[in-house]
Amino acid sequence: MRKCEVCGNEYWGVFEVRTAGGGVHLFDSFECAITKLAPVCEHCG
């Protein structure tokens, strides 16, 4: 089984997200993907 790079959960349903820059990331949920990949607002932090 593969492991989510944010929470460390080992799960059969882990999915890959490939970025425009060529990066490949593994996540078990959209929440983990958003936590890792979403930009951070300069104003809100």
Tell me what pLDDT residue 15 has. 98
CA–CA gap between residue 33 and residue 24 (Å, rounded): 11
| pTM of the model as a whole | 0.81
The DSSP-derived string for 1-45 is -EE-TTT--EETT-EEEE-TTS-EEEESSHHHHHHHHSPPPTTT-
Q: Which residues pair with 3 in a beta bridge?
A: 10
Residue 9's pLDDT is 96
Consecutive 10-residue runs of the chain (45 residues): their mean pLDDT? Answer: 97 96 97 94 83
Q: What is the pLDDT of residue 30?
A: 96
* 23: its two tokens: 């990066």
Looking at residue 44, its pLDDT comes to: 82
Contact 26, 3 (CB under 8 A): yes
